[in-house]
Amino acid sequence: MPRAITIDDLFRLRLVSDAQIAPDGERVVCVVKNADREKNKYFSHLYLCDLRTREVRQFTSGEVADSQPRWSPDGKTIAFVSNRQKPKSQIFLIPVDGGEARALTSLEEGSIGEIAWSPDGTKITFTFRLTPEQWREQVVKERKEKGLSTPPRIITRPFYRLDGAGYFDGEYYQVWVADARTGEAKQLTNEATSCGSLSWSPDSSKVAFVCNRSEDPDLNPNLEDIWLVPAGGGDLQRVETPKGPKGGLAFSPDGTCIAYIGHTKVEDIWGVTNDHLWIADLSNGTARDIMEGFDRSLGNLTLSDMRDVGGGSRPTWTPDGKRLLFLASDRGSTKLYSISADGGEPVALRGERADITTFSLSADGKCLAWCEGTATQPHEVFTGTLEDGAIQNASAVTCFNAEWLAEVQVQAPEEFTCTSPEGNEVHGWILHPPDFDPAKKYPLILEIHGGPHAQYGWVFFHEFQLLAAQGYVVLYTNPRGSKGYGEAHTAAIKGTWGGPDYTDLMAAVDALLARGYIDETRMGVMGGSYGGYMTNWVVSHTDRFRAAITDRSVVNLHSMAGTCDFPLLPGGDYFRGNAWAEPQDLWEHSPLKYADNIHTPLLIIHSEGDLRCPIEQAEQLFAALKVQKKEAVLVRYPLESSHGLSRSGPPDLRVHRLQQIVEWWKRYLAQDG
């Protein structure tokens, strides 16, 4: 009989990503990541899938992190990024038909962002950010041995650090090119901000990339442009496009156009606006949105604790240049779409009630590979053929989690909709405990997603399954402010956090209570980041929940305006005013203002290494509650963790976090609590 899911299953799950199909369509390489309990680290390796024999074999090994496998145009070699020369990361090459991986590059200590082969197979372009000498591993070690202090940082710019990446210290991702035979590498850009989203011209003569070269990129983050640089180095050429954020560059097969993902609302720094597919015509200097009527945003915007936040995805041209493939988020699904290069209505190819993260197309455009998961199935590699505008013969190639799935009892969520008092549809899911009996009464946990402009959806979520296995009904929804339901739905909470979103969340709880199997005296609420903000808002505006857990949360928008890694720029049409002369609106929408109304026992989880929602947010809330002699516990995680602790933090700290959550709910929501 299947067993209940446990915390320790974090070490059994295999996380599959980055499915890349060979140019001839006969093999797929992917990345498989797992958490190692003994080493307390994540290791990731490349696996090779033969589509003729269906054989899946491990292609790289060792206590390493291998990522970004990319086929050479002739299909004989795979390039990938690896940290096997710790603390340095390098680009490695490995022959597909046998042989050892060899380091192509000999870079100093730093971080490689992305890599791409030139179409003629002679070069590899990549982005690289150098680690300043005083912060390199050996220098830090020597400093400690000598008893010297950590050197100070001299900061002159408002955007000087990024959660998960740390401090920039004047070094940014630049565009490089390496000779694929000799490894000789040359830096092509030297910008005062990062470059990214690389794409080769079909003749291998130029590299396109995105960079904000405006006078003050930190305070004008959406003034991004597409630039062309000769593969051998030289002057940059700007591609004529409207101002606005950009990414996912893809040269057309004939080299006359560049497709990209973006929009033109420069003032939107919060991500409310739908990202669409644009095509820039290099011959006449025009660019147009080819999906103006499509009321969805491109990219994978679905949250899960099984991977990092999905983000954007590069569009892919069919070889004849007539159509493009792309991912977009829709009502909790992340689907693969196709659209004519001339524009029109996108056609959904795959992904209904599923989550697609990456996809790739063979050189002839006939074979397709992608990573797909569902609410009950972690991601695996799938393949199919693209025929007559549809995917045919789709099937799973890998089954890395099959053995584990056969052991455990995974709960399938029930799709759920209700109507808020304003008439808005609230869409979400209900996860019932194993052996659920609607005639009984169950405790409820309301989970609130972060973002705020993201979505919950049809994706495996270990934490949700764990809570259901503990006997709780888990409710998770996409209230107004979420992505996937149209731009108006997303924009409904601009500058009004705690308004329409709160109304929708409470409407979902009320609708579930009406079913009769929830014990109204045993309800909990929890969330992370903006979900933590909403948890704080909920418990400061109602006492209906017996207990709450707020994780990496926003507490005080006023103070966060100066401590977040991204400067919260004043003005625009989001929060009004500013932090120094007109703080009223920021304070009005801060849960800390209402801390005297909080009577609900609160577990506060936060990381010292969180640069997105700094630890001072948790400190303010904890102090306010303790001074008032209210029930609050702060679990403070060390600098090794960041904002993404729940999905990518050190394995032992992820385990500890889940243990705290389980114990808190057991303490307050147990039958005799």
Evaluate whether residue 269 is within a structural domain.
no
Q: How far apart are CA 561 and CA 573, in angstroms?
A: 16
Q: How far apart are CA 614 and CA 606, in angstroms?
A: 8
CATH classification at residue 444? 3.40.50.1820
Q: What pLDDT, on the 0 to 100 scale, is given for residue 119?
A: 98
Evaluate whether residue 618 is within a structural domain.
yes
Where does 290-389 show beta strands of DSSP type E? 297-298, 316-317, 323-330, 333-340, 347-350, 355-361, 367-373, 380-387
For residue 376, pLDDT over 70 is answered with: yes
Q: How far apart are CA 333 and CA 322, in angstroms?
A: 26
Mean pLDDT confidence for 579-594: 96
- The two three-digit tokens of residue 184, written as one number: 């000789």
Q: What pLDDT, on the 0 to 100 scale, is given for residue 673?
A: 43
Amino acid at 190: N
Q: How far apart are CA 323 and CA 253, in angstroms?
A: 11
Q: Which of 111-120, 303-312, 377-386, 593-602 has the lowest mean pLDDT?
A: 303-312
Q: What pLDDT, on the 0 to 100 scale, is given for residue 184?
A: 97
pLDDT tens sequence across 633-654:
999 999 999 999 999 999 999 9
Of the chain, the end-to-end C-alpha distance in Å amounts to 30
Q: Which position among 194, 199, 252, 529 bears the catalytic label? A: 529
Q: How far apart are CA 480 and CA 422, in angstroms?
A: 11
Query: What order of strands is seen across the sheet that includes strand 473-478?
Result: 414-419, 425-431, 473-478, 442-448, 518-528, 547-551, 602-607, 632-637
Query: Comparing C-alpha atoms, which of 629, 450, 654 is closest to residue 553?
Result: 450
Mean pLDDT confidence for 183-200: 98
Q: How far apart are CA 119 and CA 124, in angstroms?
A: 9
Dihedral over Cα of 642, 538, 569, 153: its sign: negative
Evaluate whether residue 100 is within a structural domain.
no
- The two three-digit tokens of residue 530, written as one number: 């903006």
Alpha carbon of residue 657 to chain centroid: 20
For residue 342, pLDDT over 70 is answered with: yes
For residue 568, pLDDT over 90 is answered with: no
Query: Comparing C-alpha atoms, which of 320, 413, 416 is closest to residue 374?
Result: 413
pLDDT tens sequence across 280-303:
999 999 999 999 999 999 999 999
Evaluate whether residue 568 is within a structural domain.
yes
- Across 252-265, b (16+ Cβ under 10 Å) vs e yields bbebebbbbbbbbb
Evaluate whether residue 491 is within a structural domain.
yes
Q: What pLDDT, on the 0 to 100 scale, is given for residue 308?
A: 75
Q: What pLDDT, on the 0 to 100 scale, is given for residue 578?
A: 92
310 pLDDT band (50/70/90 cuts)? low
Mean pLDDT confidence for 194-223: 97
Q: How far apart are CA 49 and CA 403, in angstroms?
A: 18
Evaluate whether residue 34 is within a structural domain.
no
Measured in degrees and rounded to the nearest 5, phi and psi for residue 296 equal -145, 165
Q: What pLDDT, on the 0 to 100 scale, is given for residue 307?
A: 85
| Three-class secondary structure of residue 301 per DSSP | coil
- The two three-digit tokens of residue 637, written as one number: 């995680």
Share of the chain above pLDDT 70, in %: 99
Which helix (H) or strand (E) element contains residue 300? Answer: none
**How buried is residue 363: exposed, middle or buried, by Cβ count under 10 Å (0-12/13-18/19+)?**
middle
69 pLDDT band (50/70/90 cuts)? very high
182 pLDDT band (50/70/90 cuts)? very high
> 658 is in which domain, residue-wise?
411-669
> How does the average pLDDT of the chain come out, rounded?
96
Beta strand pairing status for 225-230 and 206-211? Answer: antiparallel
Looking at the structure of the chain, the number of domains it has is: 1
For residue 208, pLDDT over 50 is answered with: yes
Mean pLDDT confidence for 56-80: 97
Evaluate whether residue 251 is within a structural domain.
no
CA-based max dimension of the chain: 73
For every residue of 122-177, DSSP letters joined together read SEEEEEEEEPPGGGSHHHHHHHHHTTPPPPP----SS--EETTTEE-TT---EEEE
For residue 89, pLDDT over 70 is answered with: yes
Q: What pLDDT, on the 0 to 100 scale, is given for residue 338?
A: 98
The answer to whether 142 touches 187, Cβ cutoff 8 Å, is no
Rg of the chain over Cα atoms, rounded to whole angstroms, equals 25
Q: What pLDDT, on the 0 to 100 scale, is given for residue 312?
A: 64
Known catalytic residue: 529?
Answer: yes
Q: What pLDDT, on the 0 to 100 scale, is given for residue 311?
A: 62
Evaluate whether residue 182 is within a structural domain.
no
Q: How far apart are CA 396 and CA 30, in angstroms?
A: 13
Q: Which position among 17, 362, 643, 648 bears the catalytic label? A: 643
Q: What pLDDT, on the 0 to 100 scale, is given for residue 549?
A: 98
For residue 672, pLDDT over 60 is answered with: no
453 pLDDT band (50/70/90 cuts)? very high
Q: What is the DSSP letter of 597?
A: G
- The two three-digit tokens of residue 244, written as one number: 């606005």
Mean pLDDT confidence for 24-44: 97
